[in-house]
Amino acid sequence: MPAPRPSQSAEAARAAAAQAEFNEKKWVWVPDDKDGYLAGWVVREEDDVGEVVMAAGGEIRKVPIYALSKMNPPKFDRVDDIADLTFLNEASVVHNLRLRFGSGAIYTYSGLFLVAINPYQSLPLYSDAIVHQYRNKRRDENPPHIFAVAERAWVNMGEERENQSILITGESGAGKTESTKKVIQYLAAIATDAHAPSLTPSHSQSPSLAGAGSFNTVVPAVGLPRSSSFRKHTKGVSVSQGSGFGGLTSKGRLGLLERQILQANPILEAFGNAQTQRNNNSSRFGKFIRISFSPDGSIAGANIDWYLLEKSRVVVRSEAERSFHVFYQLMEGGGSLKETLLLDGDVEDYEYLNKSRREVDGIDDREEWNLLKVKLFAVGCSAVVDMAVTECARHRRVHFCRTTRPLPRGSGGSPHRQHRDRVYSI
Ligand SMILES: Nc1ncnc2c1ncn2[C@@H]1O[C@H](COP(=O)(O)OP(=O)(O)OP(=O)(O)O)[C@@H](O)[C@H]1O
């Protein structure tokens, strides 16, 4: 066995010293109004009250024993999976998440779940290279990441022959929309890569096809060993959450359908998102996205359903918030469409808009309007964009499919399946 490098031995010595110091005392987490939990060690216990020396400053506090949480040894610091902690209590979980976040690790596993902490800044975690890093890898071969979750769904789809679902949940502003975008980004990237020989999963067993999600995404079975049943049926992965897609890492390789899926989100966001006190781009509706994959691994189609749109926002909301983005975008950049819709003046002239915040930091409504029109072109509203905008506002579904021939009426399936002509009703 090779001798350890100096840095390795220094690290080992530091770990040993930390462990020795830890062993000398009875370490606990003490609840603190300002910092959540603070480290300390118990020097005396009497009548269910512990006397604790605070590690920072040496102050002595008397705390009920039930309020103290056992601390994990330092070797558990920054552990990838919270479930590995010896003492699984709230204080230890928060400590671990805090340590990891401080070193740039926003993702942490908790058993089968992935915890994501919103960094509120752009981090270099979603490039093509990172997609590649997670492709065909087991969960334990890489640091925790949303891509690993998407990869797992893809692999399960193949191995279990079942549709897969990814549920993304959290309070407003937690990052659900962004996480959803990352899942779509990953699935779109590996789906379009599906024809590449390198995509054959190194760890697949006897696959089949799968897909599914609550943000429903149907994933293809490409590159996976297939059973006959797999060849016959398209399955998928779905993801459920509350919103959007972002840019793709490898736009140049994406097919039309993949791009349409990614570009649908800004459209939905224009009509269903608004600025709130917690989030400048808050999704005011839930979304169920289903992506279907063909046996060759390409995306066969996608379907987005929305639900629970906060319609009341149109007429009433806090004065510190706005109505849906599209109203402000239309008033800023609508041009001739405003005349068509018999609108004139600006936000100030409309009762439903002037009792709200007008502008949002970082959002240029005119520019967003122009982008919205581009996106509408991209998803196929190509004839008369302005009319399409009006149309989009009237309907409630987005449906894309690669098939260009409409299905015969009465051929079964939902009404949406009878309109498989590359578009969308939004
Ligand atoms: N992974 C991330 N990297 C960088 N910034 C992020 C990330 N996740 C979230 N953010 C930032 O936080 C903001 C709010 O996130 P997001 O809109 O995804 O929250 P949400 O949970 O969907 O909120 P709501 O329920 O109100 O729609 C984003 O606009 C973005 O600026």
Residue 314's CATH number: 3.40.850.10
Cα 91 to Cα 31, 82, 144: the distances in Å are: 8, 12, 21
Residue 170 is assigned to a ligand binding site: yes
Contact 223, 201 (CB under 8 A): yes
Angle at 227 between CA 221 and CA 232, to 5 degrees: 70
Answer yes or no: is the C-beta of 242 below 6 A from any ligand 1 atom. yes
Q: Are 114 and 146 in contact (CB under 8 A)?
A: yes
Q: DSSP code of 64?
A: E
Q: Are 199 and 136 in contact (CB under 8 A)?
A: yes
Domain annotation covers residue 61: yes
User: Which amino acid appears at position 290 of this protein?
Assistant: R
pLDDT given for residue 16 in this prediction: 82
Low-confidence ranges of the chain (pLDDT < 70): 1-8, 192-237, 239-255, 257, 378-426
- Side-chain-side CA neighbours of 187 within 13 Å: the count stands at 46
For a pocket test of ligand 1, which of 147, 279, 280 has the largest count of ligand atoms closer than 8 A to its C-beta?
279
Round to whole Å and give the CA distance between 257 and 401: 7
- Segments forming the whole domain that contains residue 38: 14-76
Q: At what angle do helices 385-394 and 365-378 cross, to 10 degrees?
A: 90
- Phi–psi pair at 373, nearest 5 degrees: -65, -40
CATH of the domain at 21: 2.30.30.360
Q: Is 340 annotated as contributing to ligand binding? A: no
Sheet holding 69-70, edge to edge: 60-64, 49-54, 36-46, 27-32, 69-70
Question: How confident is the model at residue 21, as a pLDDT?
Answer: 80
- Tokens 């975690």 map to which residue? 125
CA of 168 to the centre of ligand 1 (A): 12
Could you give the CA distance from residue 316 to residue 311 in angstroms, rounded to a whole number? Answer: 9
Q: Is 244 annotated as a binding residue?
A: no
Q: What is the pLDDT of residue 391?
A: 47
31 in a structural domain:
yes
User: Residue 419: what pLDDT?
Assistant: 32
Q: Is 362 left (phi over 0), alpha (psi -120 to 50) or beta?
A: left
Ligand 1 neighbourhood includes 124 CB (under 6 angstroms): no
Q: Diameter of the chain by CA atoms?
A: 80
Q: How far apart are CA 253 and CA 199, in angstroms?
A: 15
From the CA of 174, how far away is ligand 1's center (Å)? Answer: 6
What is the predicted pLDDT for the residue at 254?
Answer: 61
Specify whether the CB–CB gap between 215 and 183 falls below 8 A. yes
Residue 40 located in a structural domain: yes
53, 76, 99: which is the final residue of a domain? 76
- The DSSP string of 197-226 is GGGS-TT--S-----EEEB--PPP-TTS--
Element containing residue 236 per DSSP (H, E): strand 235-241
Q: What is the pLDDT of residue 198?
A: 37
Question: Nearest Cα to 186, choosing from 153, 151, 141, 139?
Answer: 151
Alpha helices in 245-363 (DSSP H): 256-272, 325-333, 336-340, 351-354
Q: For the purposes of burial, counting CB atoms within 10 Å of the CB of 316, is it exposed (0-12), middle (13-18) or buried (19 or more)? A: exposed
**How many other C-beta atoms lie within 10 A of the C-beta of residue 173?**
16
Residue 292 in tokens: 């279907």
Phi then psi dihedrals of residue 63, to 5 deg: -135, 140
Quote the CA–CA distance of 354 and 322 in Å, as a whole number.
Answer: 9
C-alpha–C-alpha distance, residues 142 and 50, integer Å: 41
40 is in an annotated binding site: no
Q: Using a 6 Å cutoff on CB, does residue 122 contact ligand 1?
A: yes
Give 89 Cα–ligand 1 centroid separation in angstroms: 27
Choose one of 51, 76, 101: the last residue of a domain: 76
171 labeled binding residue: yes
- Asked if residue 389 belongs to a domain, the reply is yes
The number of domains in the chain is 2
- The span from the CA of 107 to the CA of 320, in Å, is 32
How far is the centre of ligand 1, averaged over its atoms, from the C-alpha of 412 (Å)? 39
Q: Which of 27, 61, 76 lies at the terminal end of a domain, its last residue?
A: 76
Size of the chain in residues: 426
Q: What number does the ligand 1 atom closest to the CA of 283 have?
A: 27
How far is CA 397 from its chain centroid? 21
Cα(284) to ligand 1 centroid in Å equals 13
Written as six digits, the tokens of 271 are 């009509």
